[in-house]
Structures are given as C-alpha cells and as structure tokens.
A = this chain, B = another copy of it.
Amino acid sequence: MKSKLINQDGLARTTEIEFEKGTIKTPVFMPVGTYGTVKTSTPDELLDLGAEIILGNTYHLMIRPGEEIIKAHNGLHKFMGWEKPILTDSGGFQIWSLSKKTKINDDYVEFDSPVNGDIIRLTPEKAMQIQNVLGSDIQMVLDECTKYPATKMEASLSMKRSEKWAQRSFDAFHAHQTNNDSALFGIIQGGMYEDLRTENLEILADIDFDGLAIGGLSVGEPAEERAVVLESLIPMMPKEKPRYLMGLGTPVDIINAVSVGVDMFDCVIPTRHARNGQIYTSKGVLRIKNSPFKNDMLPLDSECSCYSCGKFTRSYIRHLFNCNEILGARLATIHNLSFYFNLMKAIQDSINKNQFKKFAKKFIEQYQQ
C-alpha cells in the first residue's frame, strides 16, 4: 500500500491510496458487505456505481460461511467476485454489540455464536490469521470497543488492553501475512476523554501501522461529545497516513469529519436505510413509503442520474415497497449508494479546488436532517 496527499484545503484533504488491486481516492465511502455481499447488489453493480473499496465483517464471515470455505476459494475477493480492495474489521465491535455472553481478559475474548451458540475464542493473533485467510487489503487490529457511557477509569483500562492487543496484532500480521500488498491499521480508543484519546494516539503512532482508525464512536454518544473527540484528535494524527473513522455516518456526519481531516468512512446506513425505504437526496431523507408519494411522478431525486432515477417514478418505487417487492430495495440501494459516491466525489472536487468550506456550507444549508 502506498498513499499520497493530493491537496489540503483547511484541515480537509484529498489523498490517493494505492493497492495492486486498485487506487482509492479519498475522502472515500466504503459500502458494507457484511456477509460477503453488499446487500441486494452484485459486485458489478458496485463497480458501475463507482465503489473503489468495500468492507467485509470478520466476525460475521468467521461464523458464516467460516474461514475454511473462504480459504477454499482463495480468499474473500474470489468468494464474492470482487476484484478491487477490501477492508475487513477485526470483529471487535461486533463481539461487543452482537454477542450476549462475552468473557474478556488480557489474553483473549470469548463470545457465543449468535447462529448456533458455540463458544468462539478470539485473540489478536487469531483475528490477524482470519483476516489473512480473507486476504483483505486493509486489515484491522483486534481492539476492545469501550462501552458508552464509561468512567474514565473504565475507559483507560479498556484502552490499555487495546494497546497491548494492537502491538500483538502488529507482530502477528508481520510474522504471518502472506500478501505483501496488505496493510494493517491501528484503532484509537479512549472513550469520550480527549486526554485518553491523545495518549492512545501517541502510543499507536509509535507502532508502524499503515493507517490509523478512530474506533469507539457511534456507540450511543451525543453528536456533540463525538464532535469534541474528533476535532481534538484528528488534526493530531500523522498526516502521511490514512485516517479512517469507523462506522459513520450520515452525509452531514461525513462532511463534518472531512472538515477536520478524515479520509475514510464506512457505514451501513445508505444500504440499510434503502431497504427501509429511506432515500437520501440533496434536500434530506425522503421516506418513499409515505402516502404523498403514491401519485408522485418525479424520480427519487431530480438531481440524480443513477439507474433508478433515470428510469422509474417515486410512485412506482413506492408501489414496489408497498408490495414488499425486492426490486424496491434494489432500486433504493442503487440510488442511495449513488448519492453517497456522488457526495464523496463532490467533496473531493471541492477540496481540490480549495472550496471545501463553501461546498460544505451550501450542502448543509440545503440538507434537512
């Protein structure tokens, strides 16, 4: 992996991250393909929409189909038919959010499989070994996702465990990684405490990660608390390495984070909300199931040129949702991903023209949250 800065406009920046499998222009949005499929879409549709990198969830893939089956396909790319880069998380976040029985100590975390109740043990070494089997281009260290709310003591203890695991992940990655082009990112924790976040960043910056992520956000905290962490933390992160904000967010979340220097984003909302009939437009979210759209002959978003907007009316797409037709979820997904990719492209263009602040202001004024 190589990365280079293209332009900086205030704290916002455009970069290019190069892999053998393809180049990623940032700020980038990465659609989430939990089980080896970005829900409803084929890999070719994602390419056509302009996806440059997608995300896979190690936790879900280790449970179904399991690493043996992906190994037999020579990795996740071949399993799911996606040739461009893939980022995989380590499973840490899902263990805390999805498993009921979790046992943790400094050596390992144990959790119950939500599919069959089996007890699964994960260590930093095992998390790296599985991601190596997945063959992902960007791999993430195993971390403990600090709960919210947490006392400073709790956040500190949790962070220190993640620090040890970061080093163990790094060591395991460099000892066993079979793909020379794969990159490893560290994850900054520290709860909502600015000083802990700074302390954690200093430790992780001393380990030679290829990039750094901000974890432990979007766990229930108010937007203001999150903004304080982001605004203090991100400008201190190493300038030469990609910065990835995990699990966020809405279009406005993304613009705000870009404005302090974040490069990479992933989030389920454009695809998950699409399946619920929530359509992203430049004027805000449109709930296509609502009755005013029954007779609406306009496209989902008049400013959009995606397949769904070029071919179908709101009235037709509402009808599909009303009848629980799969095509409704598909057309909404195509549109929402297209909206997100176009947003990232507009953000990049505005940064490259040193007009990001103007763009951001105009976008946020138009957008009804």
**Residue ranges of A at the interface with B (Cβ–Cβ < 8 Å):** 35-37, 39-44, 64-65, 69, 72-73, 79-81, 294-295, 297, 307, 311-313, 315-316, 319-320, 322-323, 325-327, 329-331
**B41, B65, B325: which contacts A315 (Cβ < 8 A)?**
B65
Q: Please determine whether B64 and A322 come into contact, CB atoms closer than 8 angstroms.
A: yes
B69 touches A39 (CB 8 A): no
Please indicate the chain B residues that have their CB under 8 angstroms from the CB of A69 in the complex: 294-295, 315, 319
Residues of B within 8 A of A36 (CB): 316, 319
Complex Cα gap A43–B316 (Å): 13
Contact partner of A316 (CB less than 8 A), chosen from B79, B312, B319, B326, is B79
Choose from B35, B316, B319 the contact partner of A325 (Cβ within 8 Å): B35
Given contacts A39-B327, A316-B80, A322 and B65 within 8 Å (CB-CB): yes
Q: Is the CB of B327 within 8 A of A326?
A: no
Q: Which chain B positions have C-beta within 8 A of A37?
A: 320, 325, 327
Residues of B within 8 A of A64 (CB): 319, 322-323
CB neighbours of A35 from chain B (8 A): 319-320, 323, 325
A65-B319, A80-B316, A316-B79 as given contacts; A73 in contact with B297, CB under 8 Å: yes
What is the count of identical protomers in the complex? 2
CB contact under 8 A between A330 and B322, given known A72-B295, A297-B73: no
What's the nearest-Cβ distance from chain B to residue A292, in Å? 13
Q: Are A81 and B311 in contact (CB under 8 A)?
A: yes
Cβ–Cβ contact A73 & B311, under 8 A: no
In the assembled complex, the Cα of A72 lies from the Cα of B319 at a distance in Å of 14
Compute how far the CA of A307 lies from the CA of B44 in the bound complex, rounded to whole angstroms: 10
A36 to B316, CA, bound (A): 9
Q: Can you list 9 residue pairs at the A/B interface with Cβ under 8 Å?
A: A35-B320, A39-B327, A64-B323, A65-B294, A69-B315, A80-B316, A81-B311, A81-B312, A81-B316
Please report the C-alpha to C-alpha distance between residue A112 and residue B359 in the assembled complex, in whole angstroms. 55
Complex contacts, A65 vs chain B, CB 8 Å: 294, 315, 319, 322
B72 touches A330 (CB 8 A): no
**Which residues of B lie under 8 Å from residue A326 when comparing CB positions?**
39-40, 326, 329-330
A40-B327, A41-B327, A330-B326 are known contacts. Are A72 and B315 too (CB-CB below 8 A)?
Answer: yes
Chain B residues whose C-beta falls within 8 Å of the C-beta of A81 in the assembled complex: 311-312, 316
Separation of A73 and B43 alpha carbons in the complex (Å): 32
Minimum CB–CB distance for A52 against chain B, Å:
20
Q: How far is the CA of A294 from the CA of B68 in the complex (A)?
A: 11
Name the B residues within 8 Å of A322 (CB-CB): 64-65
A323 contact set on B, CB distance < 8 A:
35, 64
How far does the alpha carbon of A307 sit from the alpha carbon of B81 in the complex, in Å? 11
In Å, the complex CA distance between A327 and B32 comes to: 14
CB of B42 within 8 A of CB of A313, answer: no
In the assembled complex, the Cα of A44 lies from the Cα of B79 at a distance in Å of 26
Cα A327 to Cα B35 with chains together (Å): 11
A182 to chain B, nearest CB (A): 22
Top 10 A-B pairs, shortest CB-CB distance: A65-B319, A35-B323, A40-B326, A37-B327, A81-B311, A37-B325, A79-B316, A326-B326, A64-B323, A81-B312
Alpha-carbon distance between A109 and B36 when the two chains are bound, in angstroms:
50
Min CB distance, A277 to chain B, in Å?
A: 15
In whole angstroms, what is the CA distance A275 to B42 when docked? 16
Q: Which of A36, A323, A325, A327 has the most CB of B within 10 A?
A: A327
